[in-house]
Amino acid sequence: MKTTLGRRTRVLAATTATAGLVLVAGCSSDDSGGGGTKTAAGGVELVKAGQLTTCTHLPYPPFQSEIDGKVQGFDVSLIDLVADDLGVKQVIVDQPFENFKTGGSLNAGSCDLAAAGMTITEERKKNVDFSDPYFDATQAVLVDKKSGITSFAGLKGKKVGAQAQTTGEDYAKSKGLDPVSFESSDAVINGLRSGQVEAVVIDYPVVQGWLKDKANADAFKVAEQVNTGEQYGFTVKKGNTKLLAAINKALTDAKADGTYKKLYEQWIGPYDQAAASASPSAS
C-alpha cells in the first residue's frame, strides 16, 4: 500500500445500489450522535451514526479506486457486507496511508476501520488490530519488454521503482536494491511508461489490473512473480473487539455462501485453492 502525505482528505460514496444514500449519510450524520444512534447491530459502536466509516488511500485497483464517481473494488465490496450486517451504509474516507497504517486515524475517530490492501505485519500489529486474512498477496516484477530483464535477480544494477511505504518497497530494499519511491500506484506505472525506471516491484493484483489495458500489455511483461508470504487484513482501533468480530464473521459467511468467490472473480481473477487459503473459513 501507499501514502501521499500532503493529500487532502476526501469523503466518497461507496459503490452500492444506494450510493446516493451513502453520500447523504456521509454528509448528514451527526458527529455527536444527535442524528441517530452510534450503536449498530451486535453492539458495535460507530464513529458516526448510521454509517460504517472506512479509511483508505486511492487509487489502489483492484482493491479500491474511483470509477465513474464511485469508489469500487474488492475491499469495498467486502466491507459493504460488514455494513449490511450492521444495518448501516459504508462511507469511504480517502486519506494518506500513513494516517491509518500507524493507527492515527482510528485513534482519532476519523474512521471505524481501514481497508486498503494492507499487508499484515508484526510491526503494524503494534498499532492496530487486524482482521482474519482475506487475501494472499505476492509481489510482481513488471518490466519493459525491451529491458532484457527476466527475473528479480536481474534487477541488480537497474533503475527499479516501487510504491512508497509498501511491502514491495521494503522487499526490494531487503534484497539490496535502492528503489525509486513513487507516492501512488498511478505514479509507479507512469514512471515505467516514461522510462524513469526500467522495472517496478509491486503487488501482483495491481499489475494484473494494469495488464488488462492493451497498451500496457503490449509494452510490459511480468518478469517474475515473487511469493513473499504476505496476506492482507482489514484493521480496527486496538481493542475494538466487537467490530473486529463483525468483520471476521462477514468474511467467514461470504466464504461459506459463495459471495467471496464471486467477488474475487469479479475484481481479482480466477479463484483457485491459493485464493481459498486466504479465506478465514479455510484456515
Write down all domains in the chain, each with its CATH number in brackets: 10-134+233-282 (3.40.190.10), 137-230 (3.40.190.10)
The DSSP result for 82-118, as a single string, is HHHHHTSEEEEEE--HHHHHTTHHHHTTS-SEE-SSP
SS3 39: strand
SS3 269: coil
**pTM here?**
0.75
Strands 199-203, 160-163: pairing is parallel
| Distance in angstroms (rounded) separating the CA atoms of residues 276 and 266 | 15
Give the sign of the dihedral formed by CA 16, CA 22, CA 26, CA 27. positive
- Return per-residue pLDDT of the chain as tens, 283 residues: 543 333 334 455 454 433 332 332 333 334 433 346 899 999 999 999 999 999 998 888 899 999 888 999 999 999 999 999 999 999 999 998 888 888 999 999 999 999 998 999 999 999 999 999 999 988 999 999 999 999 999 999 999 999 988 889 999 999 999 999 998 888 999 999 999 999 999 999 889 889 989 999 999 999 999 998 989 999 999 999 999 999 999 999 999 999 999 999 999 888 864 444 444 333 3
Burial of 41 (C-beta count, 10 Å sphere; 0-12/13-18/19+)? exposed
